[in-house]
Amino acid sequence: MNNYELMVIFTPVLSEEDFKAAQKKYADLIAELGGATVHSNPWGLKSLAYPIQKKTTGIYWVLEFTGPSDINEKLKIQMLRDEQIMRHMITRLDKNAVEYNYVKRNGGFAMQDKIEA
Amino acid sequence: MAKNEIKYLTAIKQEKPKKKFCRFKKYGIKYVDYKDIDFLKKFINEQGKLLPRRLSGNSLKYQRKVQDAVKKARQMSLLPYVTDLLK
């Protein structure tokens, strides 16, 4: 069971409940494929650094989950088929990353720890 | 008074180069998060290009982690590939 982090950019025209429905759909898909979602973090509407598919804003969603190693291929097929999704990226988290996310979620990082040097 | 010996009233202050240190080793950071934009911005210049190690002062191991994180951030359009006056 590896730790993965999925980041998805939806098209900005998506309404609020469509966005929630899409989140639920993929969370259930992961659960169905034998994985487990650790933490879902929707960022909402954000402006993009450069236009994607002629759009300058997108709805971001970050999901941290664990799953068997073949879960990503199935996820990718679903996401490429879904036209609401402009771009997605699945990254593998090593132990430092998992610990970083855990500490960040529980507000562990004091400001000076983030090295202002 | 030797011809070529010039005496200054106050000693010339040579600009001692600031000792560069790898901030990852010093502050014990283990993971560079690609979502943390304002931290990554310390490692790219105005055009959005990656700073070389001699300027950022990172050790090789952490420079590569920063490199991966910046490229992931660019892929997910959190950081632009090329721009001007990014800061």
Q: What percent of chain A has pLDDT over 70?
A: 92
Q: Which residues in B lie closer than 8 A to residue A117 (C-beta atoms)?
A: 23, 26-27
- CA distances in angstroms from A40 to A35, A65, A97, B66, listed in the order given: 14, 8, 16, 25
Rounded to whole angstroms, the Cα distance separating A64 from A60 reads 13
pLDDT at A114: 52
**What are the residues of chain A with a beta carbon less than 8 Å away from any beta carbon of chain B?**
7, 9, 48-50, 52, 58, 62, 87, 89, 91, 94, 96-97, 99-101, 104, 113-115, 117
Res. A115: pLDDT tops 70: no
pTM (2 d.p.)? 0.81
Of A50, A94, A104, which is closest to B77 when you measure between CB atoms?
A50
C-alpha angle A111/A6/A66, rounded to 5°?
95
Q: How confident is the model at residue A112 (pLDDT cuts 50, 70, 90)?
A: very low
Query: Is A115 close to B26, i.e. CB distance below 8 A?
Result: yes
What amino acid occupies position B54?
R
What is the mean predicted confidence (pLDDT) over A34-38? 90
Q: Which domains does chain B have, with CATH numbers?
A: 31-87 (4.10.640.10)
pLDDT for A116 equals 47
What does the pLDDT read at residue A1? 86
- Out of A9, A101, A115, closest to residue B76 by CB: A9
User: Which of B19, B23, B56, B77 should one mutate to test binding to chain A, selecting the residue with the greatest count of A CBs within 10 A?
Assistant: B77
Tell me which residue has tokens 């951030």.
B73
Question: Residue B71 — left, alpha, or beta (φ > 0 → left; ψ -120 to 50 → alpha)?
Answer: alpha
Query: Would you call B18 helix, strand, or coil by DSSP?
Result: coil
d(Cα A85, Cα B62) in Å, to the nearest integer? 32
**Exposed, middle or buried, A28 (CB in 10 Å: 0-12/13-18/19+)?**
exposed
Q: Is A7 within 8 Å of B23 when comparing Cβ atoms?
A: no
Whether residues A117 and B77 touch (CB distance < 8 A) is answered with: no
Question: Tokens representing B29?
Answer: 């950071």
Which member of B27, B76, B77 has the closest CB to residue A113? Answer: B27
pLDDT band for position A5 (cuts 50, 70, 90): very high
How much is the pLDDT for B87? 64
Q: What chain B residue is nearest to A116 in terms of C-alpha separation?
A: B39
Statement: residue A99 has pLDDT above 50: yes
pLDDT of A110 higher than 70: no
Which pLDDT tens digits describe chain B residue by residue (87 residues)? 566 677 778 777 777 667 778 888 888 888 889 998 888 988 998 888 999 998 888 899 999 999 999 999 999 999 999 888 666
| pLDDT tops 90 at residue A101 | no
ipTM of the complex: 0.83
